[in-house]
């Protein structure tokens, strides 16, 4: 077994590499199939924003301490306030979020430039496994007296966002 | 009879009154501060307790109130249900894979990796299972069995987190109980202190009232002749000042041969005569205020528009005395008690009063030099 393993034929190596690629693609494909777009709901109108478009719009890169990961993380995303104005014409008074993990919440106070919609971390697109495909973070939370050891203080960092509905 | 009235020094009570007032303010302030402190304490305690309660219980009943490990475990159990369900293999594997991905996202927490040894291996198991499911090279039952270890780990995390949460709530409960005791006792203490300070304040107020009353009575006594009950020289001066710019009549009355009366009848009888004469003058000159200026000297002060009115009063007085007919066993002229009366009219003022007094005194002196038992009024005082 060892010899076989040490002296693999080029065909064998190619087969292994193909298998690896297939496995990675296999993992990514179902995820991609589940989460390919972000739904934007405004009254009766539902608009799908493709994740590829969302990633293309992610023009901000910054490093932030992520209390869930316990380390500084380089994040790519877009200013959420600007995104809301583009989608709804103005910042709605409240937003109703639904997430892939069945979480639902309605929150107010989004006319705040410190919130960012993150689509990638460390150069990799967010997946459901990495609490994507889109996630809200507050870029400057140091003034809010949040304790990074108390994750409940970060409940408004909404994960795995599936849809955003304007509540007027 | 020639002595002029001197301005009476008013008793000076101001410094003591101020000091006393300062003390009342202090007691009152302490009392109010105590009640204020009580309110501050209660507000502080309620503000301390509320955020703590909110931290522990505000999210109870909603999804964020659940632990991430609980939610991850439920997704893994859902994945097992999908794998063991009746649906088509492709759909079952896709659904299970999504549940496993979601569980991975919820379980992949720094705090779990740091605190629980099983977390890393469980995440690695999930990772491996995900690859196998995606490649479709694992059967459903094997996949289900591969999920047991991560579920067991997540259950362990859940239990431990629940224990920690329970311990934290117990600590909070104990802390709240201690704070409650401190609040109860300190509130009681502060409340009692507030009551004591208030009682001291009330006591001081009563003392102040009593002192003011005593001062007032003392001042009244200082203005009164103790024998006859009428005013004294100070009262006369004060009353004149109180009637500034009014036209007044001043009548000075001197008992003739009063020393002889005393010698004959004794001083107690002399005192009785003084009281009787005070009553007589008061009844005869109804509108006048009476004063005793010395041993046998009285003064009457009354509104008097002109000298004629003053003369009428003097005449009235002499008539009244005659009618009373007080006996005088030692009168050199064998008469009853007789009076020498002098009067003057003046416009009340601090400056004019000494002149009016002098004029009335001169008139009285003239009566005496003319043989007593009569009256005279100075026309141009």
Q: Which residues of A touch B (CB under 8 A)?
A: 19, 22-23, 25-27, 29-31, 33-34, 67-71, 100-105, 127-131, 149, 151-152, 155, 159-160
Contacts by A20-24, CB closer than 8 A, 24 or more apart: A22/B135, A23/B131, A23/B134, A23/B135
Taking CB atoms and an 8 Å limit, are A26 and B64 in contact across chains? no
CB-closest option in A27, A33, A70 to B110: A70
Contacting residues for A21 by C-beta, under 8 A, at least 6 apart = none
Look at residue B23 and tell me whether its pLDDT is greater than 80: no
DSSP reduced 3-state for A83 = helix
Q: Is residue A50 part of a domain?
A: yes
Taking CB atoms and an 8 Å limit, are A26 and B102 in contact across chains? no
DSSP B286-320: TT-EEEE-SSSEEEEEEE-SSHHHHHHHHHHHHHH
**Count helices and strands in chain B by DSSP H and E runs:** 12, 5
Look at residue B5 and tell me whether its pLDDT is greater than 60: no
Q: For residue A121, list its beta bridge partners.
A: A75, A124
Q: Which residues of chain A have a CB within 8 Å of the CB of B136?
A: 26
CB-closest option in A23, A71, A101 to B135: A23
Question: Which segment of B34-38, B61-65, B181-185, B246-250 scores lowest on mean pLDDT?
Answer: B61-65
CB-closest option in B59, B63, B101 to A152: B59
Higher-scoring residue by pLDDT: B308, A26: B308
Q: Is residue A17 part of a domain?
A: no
Measured between CA atoms, the residue of chain B closest to residue A29 is B134
Measured between CA atoms, the residue of chain B closest to residue A65 is B110
**Mean pLDDT score, B23-38:** 79
**Mean pLDDT score, B204-218:** 91
Look at residue A86 and tell me whether its pLDDT is greater than 70: yes
Taking CB atoms and an 8 Å limit, are A129 and B105 in contact across chains? yes
**Mean pLDDT score, B319-343:** 93
Write the CA distances from B173 to B49, B108, B146, B168, B353, integer angstroms: 10, 32, 41, 8, 85
Count of positions (residues) in chain B: 381
Confidence band of A66 (pLDDT split at 50, 70, 90): very high
Q: Put residue B303 in one of left, alpha, beta given phi > 0 → left and psi -120 to 50 → alpha.
A: beta
pLDDT tens digits for range B151-184: 999 999 999 998 988 898 888 889 888 878 888 8
Q: Is residue A22 part of a domain?
A: no
Looking at the complex, report in whole angstroms how far the Cα of residue B26 sits from the nearest Cα belonging to chain A: 42
Q: Which residues of chain A have a CB within 8 Å of the CB of B101?
A: 30-31, 127-129
Look at residue B194 and tell me whether its pLDDT is greater than 50: yes
d(CA B76, CA B80): 6
Measured between CA atoms, the residue of chain A closest to residue B135 is A23
Q: Is the dihedral of CA A34, A36, A39, A45 positive or negative?
A: negative
A31 touches A162 (CB < 8 A): no
Q: Is residue A151 part of a domain?
A: yes
d(CA B364, CA B339): 10
Look at residue B350 and tell me whether its pLDDT is greater than 90: no
pLDDT at B22: 61
**Mean pLDDT score, B102-128:** 95
Q: Which residues of chain B have a CB within 8 Å of the CB of A68?
A: 109-110
Q: Is residue A77 part of a domain?
A: yes
d(CA A51, CA A117): 12
pLDDT at A32: 45
Measured between CA atoms, the residue of chain A closest to residue B64 is A155
Q: Is residue A31 part of a domain?
A: no
How does DSSP classify residue B257? T
Look at residue B377 and tell me whether its pLDDT is greater than 60: yes
Confidence band of B45 (pLDDT split at 50, 70, 90): confident
Q: Is residue A2 part of a domain?
A: no
pLDDT at B21: 59
Q: Report the percentage of chain B scoring pLDDT > 90.
A: 58
CB-closest option in B64, B114, B135 to A70: B114
**CATH code at position A139:** 3.90.420.10
pLDDT at B123: 96
pLDDT at B11: 44
- Retrieve residue B141's tokens: 């039952």
ipTM over 0.85: no
pLDDT at A147: 81
DSSP B90-138: HHHHHHHHHHHHHHHHHH--HHHHHH-HHHHHHHHHHHHHHHHHHHT-S
Taking CB atoms and an 8 Å limit, are A128 and B64 in contact across chains? no
Question: Which segment of B260-264, B275-279, B302-306, B348-352 scores lowest on mean pLDDT?
Answer: B348-352
Closest CA to B186 of B42, B284, B342: B42
Look at residue B6 and tell me whether its pLDDT is greater than 90: no
Taking CB atoms and an 8 Å limit, are B134 and A69 in contact across chains? no
pLDDT at B53: 66
Q: How many domains does chain A have?
A: 1
pLDDT tens digits for range A35-47: 689 999 999 999 9
B205 touches B23 (CB < 8 A): no
Q: Is residue A145 part of a domain?
A: yes
**Mean pLDDT score, A122-150:** 87
Domain that residue A70 falls in: 36-167
Taking CB atoms and an 8 Å limit, are A26 and B109 in contact across chains? no
Q: Which residues of chain A have a CB within 8 Å of the CB of B98?
A: 30-31, 34, 100, 128
């Amino acid at each position: 077994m060892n010899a076989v393993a040490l002296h693999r034929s080029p065909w064998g190596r190619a087969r292994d590499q193909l298998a690896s690629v297939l496995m990675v693609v296999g993992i990514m494909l179902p995820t991609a199939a589940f989460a390919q777009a972000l739904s934007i709901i405004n009254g009766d109108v539902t608009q799908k924003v493709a994740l590829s478009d969302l990633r293309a719009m992610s023009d901000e890169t910054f490093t932030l301490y992520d209390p869930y990961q316990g380390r500084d993380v380089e994040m790519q995303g877009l200013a959420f306030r600007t995104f809301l104005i583009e989608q709804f014409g103005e910042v709605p008074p409240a937003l109703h979020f639904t997430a892939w993990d069945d979480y639902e919440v309605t929150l107010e106070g989004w006319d705040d430039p410190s919130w960012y919609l993150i689509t990638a971390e460390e150069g990799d697109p967010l997946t459901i496994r990495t609490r994507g495909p889109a996630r809200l973070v507050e870029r400057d939370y140091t003034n809010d007296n949040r304790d990074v050891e108390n994750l409940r203080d970060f409940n408004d960092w909404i994960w795995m966002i599936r849809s955003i509905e304007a509540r007027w | 009879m020639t002595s002029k009235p001197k301005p009476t020094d008013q008793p000076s009570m101001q410094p003591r009154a101020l000091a006393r007032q300062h003390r009342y303010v202090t007691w009152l302030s302490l009392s109010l501060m105590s009640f204020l402190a009580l309110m501050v304490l209660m507000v502080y305690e309620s503000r301390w307790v509320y955020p703590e309660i909110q931290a522990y219980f505000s999210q109870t009943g909603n999804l964020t109130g659940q632990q991430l490990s609980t939610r991850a475990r439920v997704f893994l159990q859902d994945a097992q249900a999908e794998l063991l369900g009746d649906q088509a293999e492709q759909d079952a594997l896709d659904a299970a894979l999504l549940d496993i991905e979601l569980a991975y996202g919820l379980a992949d927490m720094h705090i779990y990796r740091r605190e629980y040894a099983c977390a890393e291996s469980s995440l690695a198991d999930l990772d491996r299972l995900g690859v196998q499911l995606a490649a479709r090279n694992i059967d459903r039952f094997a996949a289900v069995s591969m999920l047991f270890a991560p579920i067991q780990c997540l259950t362990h995390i859940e239990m431990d987190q629940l224990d920690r949460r329970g311990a934290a709530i117990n600590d909070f409960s104990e802390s709240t109980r201690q704070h409650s005791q401190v609040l109860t006792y300190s509130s009681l203490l502060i409340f009692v202190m507030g009551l004591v300070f208030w009682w001291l304040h009330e006591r001081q107020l009563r003392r102040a009232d009593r002192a003011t009353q005593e001062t007032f009575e003392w001042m009244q006594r200082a203005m009164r002749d103790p024998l006859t009950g009428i005013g004294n020289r100070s009262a006369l001066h004060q009353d004149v000042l109180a009637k500034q710019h009014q036209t007044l009549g001043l009548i000075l009355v001197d008992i003739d041969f009063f020393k002889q009366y005393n010698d004959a009848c004794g001083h107690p009888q002399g005192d009785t005569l003084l009281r009787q004469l005070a009553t007589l003058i008061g009844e005869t000159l109804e509108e006048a205020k009476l004063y005793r200026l010395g041993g046998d000297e009285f003064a009457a002060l009354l509104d008097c528009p002109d000298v004629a009115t003053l003369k009428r009063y003097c005449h009235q007085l002499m008539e009244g005395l005659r009618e009373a007919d007080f006996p005088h066993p030692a009168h050199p002229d064998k008469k009853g008690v007789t009076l020498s009366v002098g009067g003057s009219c003046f416009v009340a003022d601090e400056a004019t009063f000494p002149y009016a007094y002098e004029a009335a005194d001169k008139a009285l002196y003239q009566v005496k030099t003319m043989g007593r038992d009569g009256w005279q009024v100075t026309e141009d005082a």
